[in-house]
């Protein structure tokens, strides 16, 4: 392969989590199990919300979108990893790698913005309960979701457009289990200053600012809860926010954990292991958090499963 000629790049090599052949069956079984649980759990959440008229509210509308995004995010990464392990072939084509880069940025952006929209929904519900249905009308909810998807599409396209102009060296081994943008940039022979600048800028715009919005919403929510006269009202308000806060903490906690792991350690393997929490474990746990901590969702799931059992 001629150095510096990106048109000659046919494939990259994904080194995965471990090169030990004895660990491959264990890794395959573990990731297959987590993927199936992720798809099944989030699919049940979507079906429960769509089939129960009591859950046709803005909060659960956003939750069903979040579950869909989690299924898609996990499907972007895990199936290719499983195929590579099963076939003992670590190669991924140039276009497939760029596609994986695109979607591995796209879906986390959707996660971030959907969690922000859900925080705003909780803010309106608790701080302005009398005007909730007027403010959080179907038109606004649809607009928020449209803005979320549009922002994700355009931001990811911008990253990919810049990446496609890069030239790559002969060493095309990626020390990761999927094509992650920062790892791809490390393999480039050409200047990546613009790419890295865009990453830092977008991380601030679509990572830090949404988090600040979530924190602001919950600071107002906490202030409103303290002013509530009855302990029952406070408990109900806390219960409606508990699941969302848990998901936000898990999402941002694992994301920050991956970032600090990559900064503190120079071991690509440790960074890859940390990335498992962010890319695989978090989408798997989200439906459990909402189903175990939310009585409405538990009730809807129970009714859904009862109807399914009666049809058998």
Domain boundaries, the chain: 6-311
Sequence-distant (6+) residues with CB within 8 A of 267 are none
What are 236-252's pLDDT values in tens digits?
777 778 888 889 999 99
Q: Which residues of the chain have pLDDT under 50?
A: 1-7
Fold category of 6-311 in CATH: Rhopdopsin 7-helix transmembrane proteins (1.20.1070)
Model pTM? 0.91
Q: CB-based contacts of 101: which residues, under 8 Å, 6+ apart?
A: 159, 160, 163, 179, 180, 181, 184
Return the pLDDT at 264: 66
**pLDDT confidence of residue 146:** 97
Q: What is the pLDDT of residues 103-154, one digit of tens each?
A: 999 999 999 999 999 999 999 999 998 999 999 999 999 999 999 999 999 9
Beta carbons within 8 Å of 300's beta carbon, 6+ residues apart: 48, 49, 51, 52, 54, 55
- The pairing of beta strand 91-93 with beta strand 11-14: antiparallel
């Amino acid at each position: 392969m001629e150095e510096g000629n990106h048109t000659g790049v046919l494939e990259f090599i994904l080194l995965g989590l471990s090169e030990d052949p004895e660990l491959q069956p264990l890794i395959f079984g573990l990731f297959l199990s987590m993927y199936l649980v992720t798809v099944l759990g989030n699919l049940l959440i979507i079906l429960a919300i769509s089939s129960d008229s009591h859950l046709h509210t803005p909060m659960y509308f956003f939750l069903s979108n979040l579950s869909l995004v989690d299924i898609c995010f996990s499907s972007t990464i895990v199936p290719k990893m499983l195929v590579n392990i099963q076939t003992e072939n670590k190669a991924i084509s140039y276009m497939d790698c760029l596609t994986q880069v695109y979607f591995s940025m796209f879906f986390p952006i959707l996660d971030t913005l959907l969690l922000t929209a859900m925080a705003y929904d909780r803010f309106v519900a608790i701080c302005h309960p009398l005007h909730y249905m007027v403010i959080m009308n179907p038109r606004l909810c649809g607009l928020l979701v449209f803005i979320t998807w549009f922002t994700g599409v355009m931001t990811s396209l911008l990253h990919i457009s810049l990446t496609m102009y890069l030239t790559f060296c002969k060493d095309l081994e990626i020390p990761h289990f999927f094509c992650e943008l920062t790892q791809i940039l490390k393999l480039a022979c050409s200047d990546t200053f613009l790419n890295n600048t865009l990453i830092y800028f977008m991380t601030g715009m679509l990572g830090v600012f949404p988090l600040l919005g979530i924190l602001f919403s919950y600071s107002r929510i906490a202030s409103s809860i303290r002013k509530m006269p009855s302990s029952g009202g406070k408990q109900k308000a806390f219960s409606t926010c508990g699941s969302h806060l848990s998901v936000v903490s898990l999402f941002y906690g694992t994301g920050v954990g991956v970032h600090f792991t990559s900064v503190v350690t120079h071991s690509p393997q440790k960074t890859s292991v940390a990335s498992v929490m962010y890319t695989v474990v978090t989408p798997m746990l989200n439906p459990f958090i909402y189903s175990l901590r939310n009585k409405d969702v538990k009730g809807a799931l129970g009714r859904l499963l009862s109807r399914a059992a009666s049809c058998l």
